[in-house]
């Protein structure tokens, strides 16, 4: 493929974007009464409204041309057929298989591996629910401690919180991820080992944070219990590296498999989801999978202009590359989704934070955005000020649910109204005339001029709104799969490998070197700043 910024559709998008930038979103709505119908997709109880964006019919057509020019269809085919599209690691990328989205090329793999893995999870979940998985001295298991980091932590943690209303409230999930004694201590001091099981979740079983924490938990457990038999009943592994898990001491029957074709940040659908299954039950986990499967089909079959992940991907590219926006914000208006932005940070930034193209060239355009966000309405009372009146444009996704999982309808209506109110305010803004009218008789106020100017909002700020009828396991599966496919499409457009993460390796290596020097006098091969920091640590270390 020739460089992205030389493609004719890319150049046309740039020119057209400049051309329409003189027209505000408000004007676009005034001119076209059908704008919402044109620029929204409704799929049963799911709505994507993308009409509040700097687009018109021509822009959408140009993006379709771009997708043809980069051969998105061919790339999707390769993806679904299991071609090794993660070229730097020579791996297929098949996380969609975990939710049953197989085709004739991948069906065998599904039945050989995935189905078997699911059956194992199902039967374990059944035993757990029936109370057949007992702790020492026959105690009922109440605590599930997941030890893992990155994709082996963020997905299960996010889903367990998101689906609390569908869960067994007697089960307490804990997550130990950080190699920080504070993370671990706060968990261990709260639990009785006889009522707890530990899941060591690591695709590689080689991640230092996870292994250090796992070893400490193992020793802690041994100190609190009597026999090796006890350890076997309380420690489980989720990994693609069975050998290392066995060496650690986990019984082979207690190891749940994943495969090299599941990327860590795409792994919650696999055995990595074990803590989710134990918390919400296997049936609800299946609903999560079938929601994602529904979006897999949607992504595969719908035309570009009705295809939710594709539309979101194109809009993201529009702002990232043609409006020079550096960040993208995610605002779920549901308190149970408080970990969603952090989860999506790994999914998106570890996938598309790349500067080398698939043809081994340095890219000459901006790739993945900085992703951030928080739950509404909390964000409205902190950083929303900058989105409304700051000097930067921040494209936002607002995610809402028509019905709450809890009573107190009035609160939920206020929540929803806030979400919609924000998208209106961002677009509409507030003109000087409106401010003057609002201030009315305050014209003799001492700082009237200053106040007047401070209250003007330029508006014209873009946003997407995703609305579902309710936060259910099925809808959550759909929501996450939408973002996964959006990330895939953006990676295709930017011509980067969304499925490796070499950028994180250097930091790991240097941490190792620093660790060897911490508390020592050896300052060889280190820079002056690092050396100064090490001296300070040595001086104050107790
Ligand atoms: O270092 C980054 C990373 O490899 C992530 O991609 C991954 O989710 C995380 O570490 C944990 O890896 P593992 O599951 O192999 O312990």
CA–CA separation, 112 vs 115, rounded Å?
7
Q: 335 catalytic, yes or no?
A: no
Per-residue confidence (pLDDT) for residue 2, from 0 to 100: 61
From the CA of 58, how far away is ligand 1's center (Å)? 42
Testing ligand 1's pocket by substitution, the residue of 501, 509, 510, 511 carrying the most ligand atoms inside 8 A of its CB is 501
Residue 265 beta carbon below 6 angstroms from any ligand 1 atom = yes
204 lines ligand 1 (CB under 6 A): yes
470 in catalytic set: no
Q: What are the angstrom distances between the C-alpha of 493 and each of 159, 368, 417? A: 29, 11, 35
Asked if the domains at 4-69+302-428+462-494 and 95-286 fall in one CATH topology, the answer is: yes
> Per 3-state DSSP, what percentage of the chain is helix, strand, and coil (rounded to 5)?
55, 15, 30
Q: 297-335: b or e for each residue (b if 16 or more CB lie within 10 Å)?
A: ebbbebebbebbbbbbbbbbbbbbbbeebebbbbbbbbb
- Tally of CA atoms within 13 A in the half-sphere of 227 that contains its CB: 7
Cα(207) to centroid(ligand 1), Å: 7
Instruction: Please confirm, yes or no, whether 508 is among the known catalytic residues.
Output: yes
- The alpha carbon of residue 240 and the mean position of all alpha carbons in its chain are separated, in whole angstroms, by 22
Nearest CA to ligand 1 atom 14: 202
Closest C-alpha to ligand 1, atom 10: 150
Sequence-distant (6+) residues with CB within 8 A of 377 are 333, 415, 418, 419
Taking domain 95-286, whether its CATH number is 3.40.50.10490 is answered by: yes
34, two tokens: 């059908």
Q: Detail the DSSP E strand segments found in 324-455.
A: 327-332, 370-373, 396-403
Asked if residue 357 has its Cβ within 6 Å of ligand 1, the reply is no
* Cα torsion angle, 101, 105, 108, 112, sign: negative
Contact 258, 203 (CB under 8 A): yes
Indicate which residue of 33, 381, 437, 520 is catalytic.
381
Q: Domain map of the chain by residue range?
A: 4-69+302-428+462-494, 95-286, 430-460, 502-540
Go through the chain and tell me how many residues it has: 542
Ligand 1 contact via 270 beta carbon (within 6 Å): no
The pLDDT assigned to 138 comes to 85
Element (H, E) at 81: helix 72-81
Structure token pair of residue 294: 């529904």
pLDDT in tens, 385-408: 999 999 999 999 999 999 999 998
Are 51 and 39 in contact by the 8 Å Cβ rule? The answer is yes
Instruction: Identify the pLDDT of residue 441.
Output: 77
Could you say which residues of the chain have pLDDT below 70? 1-2, 227-228
Check pocket membership of 150 for ligand 1, CB cut-off 6 A.
yes
Instruction: Select from 3.30.70.260, 3.40.228.10, 3.40.50.2300, 3.40.50.10490 the CATH code of 4-69+302-428+462-494.
Output: 3.40.50.10490
| pLDDT value of residue 225 | 83
Atom number in ligand 1 closest to CA 201: 14
Nearest CA to ligand 1 atom 1: 504
Strand order in 196-201's β-sheet?
172-176, 143-147, 196-201, 235-239, 255-257
**CB of 208 closer than 6 angstroms to any ligand 1 atom:** no
Choose, from 58, 126, 408, 508, the residue flagged as catalytic: 508
Structure tokens at 7: 């493609």
The whole-number pLDDT of residue 83 equals: 98
* C-alpha 122 to ligand 1 mean position (Å): 25
Atom of ligand 1 nearest to the CA of 151: 8
List, in order, residues 6 or more apart from 527 with CB less than 8 Å away: none
Distance CA 256, CA 238 (A): 5
Which two three-digit tokens encode residue 137? Answer: 């001295």
Q: How far is the CA of 369 from the centre of ligand 1 (A)?
A: 21
**CA of 208 relative to ligand 1 center, distance in Å:** 10
Q: Helix, strand or coil for residue 206?
A: coil
């Amino acid at each position: 493929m020739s460089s992205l910024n030389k493609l004719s559709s890319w150049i046309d998008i740039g020119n057209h974007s400049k051309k329409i930038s003189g027209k505000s979103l408000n004007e676009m709505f005034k001119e076209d009464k059908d704008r919402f119908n044109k620029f929204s997709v409704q799929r049963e109880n799911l709505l994507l409204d993308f009409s509040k964006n700097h687009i018109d019919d021509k822009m959408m057509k140009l993006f379709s041309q771009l997708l043809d020019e980069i051969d998105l269809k061919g790339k999707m085919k390769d993806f679904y057929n299991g071609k090794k599209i993660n070229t730097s690691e020579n791996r297929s990328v098949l996380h969609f298989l975990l939710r049953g989205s197989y085709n004739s090329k991948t069906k065998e793999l599904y039945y050989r591996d995935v189905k078997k893995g699911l059956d194992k999870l199902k039967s374990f979940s059944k035993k757990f629910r029936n109370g057949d998985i007992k702790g020492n001295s026959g105690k009922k298991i109440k605590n599930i401690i997941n030890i893992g980091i990155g994709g082996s932590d963020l997905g299960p943690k996010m889903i367990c919180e998101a689906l609390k209303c569908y869960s067994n409230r007697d089960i307490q999930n804990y997550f130990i991820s950080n190699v920080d004694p504070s993370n671990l201590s706060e968990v261990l001091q709260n639990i009785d080992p006889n009522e707890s099981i530990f899941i060591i979740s690591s695709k590689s079983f080689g991640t230092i944070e996870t292994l250090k924490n796992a070893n400490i938990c193992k020793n802690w457990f041994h100190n609190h219990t009597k026999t090796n038999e006890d350890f076997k009943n309380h420690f489980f592994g989720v990994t693609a590296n069975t050998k290392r898990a066995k060496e650690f001491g986990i019984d082979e029957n207690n190891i749940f498999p994943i495969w090299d074709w599941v990327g860590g940040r795409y792994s919650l659908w696999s055995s990595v989801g074990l803590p989710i299954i134990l918390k919400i039950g296997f049936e609800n986990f299946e609903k999560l999978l079938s929601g994602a499967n529904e979006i897999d089909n949607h992504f595969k079959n719908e035309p570009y202009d009705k295809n939710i992940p594709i539309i979101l991907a194109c809009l993201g590219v529009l702002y990232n590359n043609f409006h020079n926006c550096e960040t993208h914000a995610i605002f779920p208006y549901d308190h149970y989704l408080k970990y969603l932005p952090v989860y999506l940070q790994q999914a998106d930034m570890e996938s598309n934070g790349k500067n080398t193209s698939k043809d081994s060239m340095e890219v000459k355009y901006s790739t993945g955005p900085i992703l951030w966000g928080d739950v509404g309405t909390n964000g409205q009372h902190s950083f929303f000020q900058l989105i409304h009146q700051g000097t930067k444009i921040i494209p936002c996704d607002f995610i809402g649910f028509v019905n709450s999982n809890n009573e107190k309808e009035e609160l939920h209506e206020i929540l929803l109204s806030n979400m919609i109110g924000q998208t209106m305010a961002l677009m509409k803004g507030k003109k000087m005339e409106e401010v003057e009218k609002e201030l009315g008789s305050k014209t003799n106020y001492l700082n009237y001029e200053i106040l007047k100017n401070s209250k003007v909002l330029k508006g014209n700020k873009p946003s997407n709104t995703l609305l579902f009828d309710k936060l259910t396991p099925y809808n959550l599966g759909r929501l996450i799969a939408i973002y996964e496919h959006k990330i895939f499409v953006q990676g295709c457009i930017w011509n980067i490998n969304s499925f490796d993460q070499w950028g994180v390796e250097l930091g790991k290596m240097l941490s190792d070197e620093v660790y060897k020097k911490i508390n020592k006098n050896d300052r060889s091969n280190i820079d002056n700043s690092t050396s100064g920091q090490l001296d300070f640590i040595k001086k104050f270390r107790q």
